[in-house]
Amino acid sequence: MTDALSPPKPVMTLRIGVTGHRQSRLPADQLERIGDQIQMILALAAEGLDKAHAQYADDYAGDERQLFFVSALADGADTLAARRAIGAGWRLLAPLPFSRASYARDFSTEDRDQFEALLSQADAVAELDGLRDAPANEERAYLQAGLVTVEQSDIIIAVWDGEGARGIGGTAMIKDEAVSLGKPVIWVNAAADTPPVFISAENNTPPLSEAVSPENILGAIDAVVAPPASSEIEHAFSGEKTHALAAYRVFAEEGAHRFNYGSFFQFWEKLFAGKWPFAISLTCPTPAEEIFEARQSTLAQKLQSTSHDQRIFNDLIIPRFAWADHLAVHYGNLYRSSYFFNYLFAAVAVFLALFDLVAGEFGFGSKTLWIGSEVAIIIAILFVTTAGKRGRWHEKWIDYRQLAEEMRQYRLYYLTLGRDAGSDLSRGEGGEAASWVDWYFAASCREAGMTSGAFDAGSIRRIAETVLKEEITPQIAYHDKKAGTLHIMEHRLHHLGEYAFGATLLVCLFYLGLVFLAGKEPGLATWAYETKNGVKGAVTMMTGFLPALGAAFFGVRVQGEFGSTAERSHATAAQLKTLAEKFKALSAAQTPRLEALRLRVEETARAMLMENMDWRMLYISKPLNLPG
């Protein structure tokens, strides 16, 4: 993965989870039939995934595919389904409501051996922090495990007797939660020999009619794994509409970029921000170098996480973030350097067009030289603008930055079993993430599976402290610094534009003063008349160039949106400072809870993704154009 020449494609992955009744509510004479129906569903799903892979192989990684089965392993339907799934070649993800030792008390001696055997075969086991000190807390623990099962699944099998919920965290409640989230739910009747059927929000109570078939299983799988359609249009506000599937395929074929095309922008940025002296690098690190460095110090390592999580970080999260970030920086540099170049050199072109009015008097150069130089600059501006539009630098910068931020936040909610905090943010005209970005990110999350480890008080406190130290505190410093720099740039560009127009006024007044004095007393009039004729060329040049320069400063300021971006960074820093206090309180709690940690992590990810979404909305309507 380190030596990959282009961004990694996701591995096609399907996750099926189970919720079902305990052994005491399953009729003994129905167990074999229930197991057979679950096995039939899994076989149809595996066949459906094979068909989907054959159809969409070009947009996924090689010939690989993954089948995950998610089960909390409660005695009864959960363990029955898990055994059938493992036997059929599915990889088990097990979110347990309690620690292994505590949960094992739920099983008889014989069933405990089966439970331990299933755990030994699991791909990942997450031991949640459920409590047994009161019946209400025990029910809440089962509810938390059920909700994690739903969140980690694409399709849910509900082994249900058709009756209403009898308590918190039961099968009926988890089934309803899955339906409310829009996840396909397949009902295997726990009490009667009836065919498995699909449950939906509109068709949620017995009797149900849509029996499971290869066709509707394939349809449910297709809705999960299908790449964005070639008919989907992105970036309607950017001047050129782009098909989402084509945009993804371009991303998948991108290569590494060694030269730093942002050096021109970075020079002027540092100059306008008053950061002198400063160094500008003409090269930038490649994704391979970024991946190598990130692997030396990651959140997963600092949290002393399992070898399973280390592998997911090293082989999936880090490479995909590094590639998206590298490409976002590259195209962002191209875009920003281009509009800086266009505006500033448009003013230089005006200067060259008028420079002969002064240079000609001293025999310096020739009009042909200055006009030729102006033509060269105009051609360069046209070339840069055309290349930027055809290369979609603006759109790629926005899309790749969105993907990089999503993958960066995924580090947090992967380790805490959190949901994608940005899933409801990437909606809305003009502010939405490109559909291929949503698809690629969701496919990566499915491929990663589930974190593996124990969420005891010590580990929850360690995660909270590490996220505060390694993520929130650096982000506060980054946004504070960014806001300060951009505020300075905004004010200085504003003032430079004013100075340019003010200087134009002074030059005009000076010349008009000479005109006025030329008609007065002979001595003064002679001086004024000669001076007026002597500076006529310079005045013409300055009164043409200075407004063009002022307009260039104004154009850079408007295109860069430095003031608005600074305000957003300032607001994000303020949000993160509030969240930092919440993390400190969580770390100081005597018994920190996973539920509170997940909420804090989701709030943090949401704050940073919201900043990125606002940034996206700000820039989506600012494609690269000729200075006008």
pLDDT digits (tens, 9 = 90+) for 530-546: 887 888 888 888 999 99
Supply 363's token pair: 């025999």
417 and 469 in a common domain = yes
Q: Which of 225, 253, 271 is the last residue of a domain?
A: 225
Give the per-residue pLDDT at 17.
Answer: 97
Mean of all residue pLDDT scores within the chain: 89
Instruction: Give 531: exposed, middle or buried? Use CB within 10 Å, 0-12, 13-18, 19+.
Output: middle
504 and 371 in a common domain = yes
- Which residues are CB-contacts of 5 (< 8 A; sequence separation ≥ 6)? 255, 256
The predicted model gives 33-37 an average pLDDT of: 97
The share of the chain scoring above pLDDT 90, in percent, equals 66
Measure Cα distances from 282 to 267, 289, 325, 512 in Å. 11, 16, 18, 48
Supply 42's token pair: 């899994």
Cβ–Cβ under 8 Å, residues 60 and 439: no
584 and 513 in a common domain = yes
274 and 185 in a common domain = no
Q: Which of 225, 252, 271 is the last residue of a domain?
A: 225
Cβ–Cβ under 8 Å, residues 143 and 130: no
| 236, part of any domain | no
| 241, part of any domain | no
Torsion of CA 532, 537, 541, 542, to 10 degrees: -20
In the predicted model, is pLDDT for residue 430 greater than 50? no
Per residue in 206-246, pLDDT (tens digit) is: 666 688 999 999 999 999 999 988 776 766 555 567 788 88
279 and 205 in a common domain = no
In the predicted model, is pLDDT for residue 429 greater than 50? no
Which of 140-149, 367-376, 614-623: highest mean pLDDT? Answer: 140-149
Residue among 124, 137, 195 at smallest CA distance from 169: 137
Residue among 71, 66, 67 at smallest CA distance from 125: 71
In the predicted model, is pLDDT for residue 330 greater than 60? yes
279 and 202 in a common domain = no
In the predicted model, is pLDDT for residue 427 greater than 60? no
450 and 326 in a common domain = yes
d(Cα 23, Cα 37) in Å, to the nearest integer?
A: 17
Count CB-CB contacts under 10 A for residue 521: 10
Per residue in 133-186, pLDDT (tens digit) is: 888 999 999 999 999 999 999 999 999 998 877 778 889 999 999 999 889 999
Task: Say which CATH number the domain at 145 has.
Answer: 3.40.50.450
**Residue 623: pLDDT band by 50, 70, 90 thresholds?**
confident
| 438, part of any domain | yes
Q: Which of 201, 225, 249 is the last residue of a domain?
A: 225
| 68, part of any domain | yes
The share of the chain scoring above pLDDT 70, in percent, equals 93
d(Cα 352, Cα 374) in Å, to the nearest integer?
A: 6
pTM over 0.85: yes
Phi–psi pair at 126, nearest 5 degrees: -110, 115
Count CB-CB contacts under 10 A for residue 19: 31
219 and 267 in a common domain = no
Give the per-residue pLDDT at 207.
Answer: 62
| 388, part of any domain | yes
d(Cα 361, Cα 1) in Å, to the nearest integer?
A: 64
Q: For the chain, how many structural domains are there in total?
A: 2
| 538, part of any domain | yes
Per residue in 453-475, pLDDT (tens digit) is: 999 999 999 999 999 999 999 99
User: Picking from 214-218, 403-407, 431-435, 461-465, which range would have the lowest pLDDT averaged per residue?
Assistant: 431-435
Measure Cα distances from 189 to 38, 63, 194, 195, 552 in Å. 11, 36, 6, 8, 71
179 and 302 in a common domain = no
Residue among 403, 412, 425, 411 at smallest CA distance from 599: 412
Domain extent for 44: 12-225
424 and 501 in a common domain = yes
Cβ–Cβ under 8 Å, residues 77 and 174: no
327 and 198 in a common domain = no
Coil, helix or strand at residue 156: strand
Give the per-residue pLDDT at 521.
Answer: 64
- Which residues are CB-contacts of 616 (< 8 A; sequence separation ≥ 6)? 398, 401, 402, 431, 433
d(Cα 165, Cα 153) in Å, to the nearest integer?
A: 21
**Residue 431: pLDDT band by 50, 70, 90 thresholds?**
very low
552 and 424 in a common domain = yes
User: Picking from 36-45, 379-388, 536-545, which range would have the lowest pLDDT averaged per residue?
Assistant: 536-545
Supply 239's token pair: 């001047």
In the predicted model, is pLDDT for residue 426 greater than 60? no
User: Picking from 110-119, 351-360, 395-404, which range would have the lowest pLDDT averaged per residue?
Assistant: 351-360
Chain length of the chain = 628
| 232, part of any domain | no
d(Cα 375, Cα 389) in Å, to the nearest integer?
A: 21
Give the per-residue pLDDT at 421.
Answer: 46
| 566, part of any domain | yes
Cβ–Cβ under 8 Å, residues 297 and 456: no
